[in-house]
Structure 1
Amino acid sequence: MTLDDLRVFTAACRAGSLSAAARDLSCTQSAVSQHVKRLERELGLSLLERHTRGVVPTPAGRMLNAAVTEGLGCIDHALRRIEEVARAEGGSVRVTTGATTVRHFMAAAVVDFRRRFPRASLEFQTETSSRGCFDALAAGGVDLAWITLRPATHAIEQHPVVEIPWSLAVSATDPLAAKASLEPADLQDARLIGLPQNSTSRLQLSAWLAESGVRPVFDTSVTDWDTAILLAELGLGHAVVPALPAWSGPGHPDLRLIPIPALPALTAGWAVRHWDDLSPLALAFAELVAHRCGAQTVLP
């Protein structure tokens, strides 16, 4: 059993097929299969169930994948920390988040970080969901993930940074634009622009509306809030969105954000493997973002 065997096995579990894992690792499908078979021979158990559409881990495979993901992530993190010590303040901070998060939450902090640590680098990895961010953290590929907070898992720590109230985005010419606020009941049978169904914010919004007995129709799907705002501003629909500062003011003259105070605020913040294990550079960046977001009780 080698580290390469374990890395390839976790890649196959993550990708869901041997061919996809081979593409991710820039090797052949046969090579991936050989690594997995070597593990199965040594352990005396099947680790992957082969199906026409790909592979899924067996119960033994799930146990091994969880342990290997945690262990390899720790090793990769330690290697990066050692590299950073060797390069003093010339290391890097790897962050994973959604496509528009940097503009809304981190722009000022990026400038501050660059001024304080001119030799350090920031690397951003875009994911389409909090689940993708969690997977990147678990695999040890990034230091920090900015996410919509979700129920905690034992393997990932979550640190709230900012609470964002919900509002309904409409065009300035929409009949609802003159309202000072809305109740969840006002959204009954509304046809809304929404994020994909598996996104954390969409799941939380749907759950909160359901608790109020409201079941709107999401008939348009977009990949990020900025696109939802654009469509609403153009008069192509309504969108329940977090009330981010960038959408208020002269930059969006044709947009109105109507508060929905009865909905619980959306909480965004950092997810990390282990807060105490963050490098000084990663910790500094996380604190700068929290400071710029105006957090009250944010970081330990």
Structure 2
Amino acid sequence: MTLDDLRVFVAVCRAGSLSAVARELSCTQSAVSQHVKRLEREVGVGLLERRPRGVVPTPAGRILRAAAADGLGALDQALRRLDDLARGESGSVRVTTGATSVRHFMAAAIVAFRRTHPRVGLEFQTVSSSRACFEALAAHDLDLAWITMGAPERGIELRPVVELPWVLAVRDDDALAARPHAGPEELRASAQLILPPAHSTSRAHLDERFAELGLVGGPAAGTGIADWDTAVHLAELGLGHALVPDLPGLRRPGGTPAPGLTLLPVPCLPPLRAGWAVRRWSALSPLARAFADTVAHTCPGRAAPPPPAAP
């Protein structure tokens, strides 16, 4: 059993395809298969189940994949830290996050970090959800994930950075624009409420609060969205009312929203928390820790409560 065998096996489990991994590694499908067969001979059980549209890990394969992913992730982090130590201030920080997070939360941090670490590379991998961030963090060579805070994941450490109150984005010519805030009645009455995707962490927060407010089943959703900026843009176009966190990038200098748009506070909803997720803070490279701290210090918005002290 070699490290290459384990890396290829984890990649196959992630992709669900031998041929896809062969293309990724610029080798033959037979070579990929040989890595898997060598592992199967050594452990004495089958690790992959062949299906018409690819492969999936067997129960034994799932056990090995989990252990191998943990071990390879820790080893990769250690090797990067050794490389950073050998090269001094050079190296890289790899971040996975949602499509609009860099704009809303990290712009000032990137400028500040570049000024103090000019030789360090910053790499961003964009994904569509906090769940995808967790998966990328566990499966790839990444340091940090910026996520919407939800239930903790096994083997992942969370560190909240900001709390974001909810607002209802409406056009200035909308009947709701004259109100001081939006409450349950306004949410219930909105026929075109633009909400986060159904299976997102932020939507889960909303659905839980809707139930507490007696909004059975939650308000009816109108147009679906993939990110907050799209939701606000649809509200600007008059396609509905966008229920979004009060993101830093939604306002111009001075705190006013974009022309033609009103942001109504929604005090009946608890703030949404966002921040960092990592495999282990103690294993972060000094450069990754420095970038995470820079974002925390420069990120606009209300500071989130500190994480509980370690036992």
What are the superposed Cα offsets for residues 26-48 of structure 1, whole Å, 9 maximum, x if unpaired?
Answer: 33333333322222222121222
The 8 Å contact of residues 169 and 241 in structure 2, kept in 1 or not, is answered as yes
By how many angstroms is 1:22 displaced? Answer: 3.1
SS in 2 for 1:121: strand
Aligned residue in 1 for 2:230: 227
- Structure 2 contact 192–239 (Cα < 8 Å) conserved: no
| DSSP 3-state at the match of 1:269 | strand
| Structure 1 residue 109: Cα displacement | 0.9
CA distance in 1, matches of 2:80, 2:160: 25
Equivalent residue runs for 1:199-238 within 5 Å: 199-214=200-215, 215-238=218-241
Aligned to 1:97: 97
1:256, distance to aligned residue in structure 2 (A): 1.2
Matches within 5 A, 1:143-162: 143-162=143-162
Match of 2:244 in 1: 241
Other-structure match for 2:141: 141
The separation in 2 between residues aligned to 1:73 and 1:180, in whole angstroms, is: 50
Aligned to 1:47: 47
Contact kept? 1:74, 1:140, Cα under 8 Å: no
Report the CA distance between 1:297 and its aligned residue.
4.4
State the alpha-carbon separation in 2 of the partners of residues 177 and 28 from structure 1: 61
Structure 1 residue 179, shift from structure 2 partner: 1.4
* Residue aligning to 1:80: 80
Cα distance change on mapping 1:185 and 1:49 into 2, 3 Å: farther
Q: Does 1:178 align with 2:178?
A: yes
Q: Distance in 2 between matches of 1:7 and 1:26?
A: 15
Following superposition, the deviation at residue 271 of structure 1 comes to: 0.4
Contact residue 77 and residue 285 of structure 2 kept, 8 A? no
Return 5+ residue gaps in structure 2 as ranges: none
Higher mean Cα deviation, 65-74 or 284-293? 284-293
Q: Which residues of structure 1 form unaligned runs of 5+?
A: none
Contact kept? 2:160, 2:304, Cα under 8 Å:
no
Provide closer, same or farther for how the CA distance between residues 191 and 28 of structure 1 changes in structure 2, counting only shifts above 3 A.
farther
- Aligned position for 1:295: 303
Structure 1 residue 79: Cα displacement: 0.9
Tell me if 1:4 matches 2:4: yes
Structure-2 residue corresponding to 1:262: 268
Name which of structure 1's ranges 3-12 and 217-226 shifts more when overlaid on structure 2: 217-226
Letter in structure 1 aligned against 2:303 = A
Distance 2:237 2:266 in 1: 21
SS at match of 1:261: coil
47-56 or 164-173: bigger deviation = 47-56
Scaled by the length of structure 2, the TM-score of the pair is: 0.89
Deviations 1:95-134 (A, max 9, x none): 1111111111011111111111122221111111112221
- Secondary structure of 1:96's partner? strand
Output the TM-score relative to the length of structure 1. Answer: 0.92
Alignment RMSD? 2.0
Is contact 2:105-2:248 (8 Å) kept? no
8 Å CA contact 1:93, 1:282 repeated in 2: yes
| 1:100–1:224 contact (8 Å) kept in structure 2 | yes
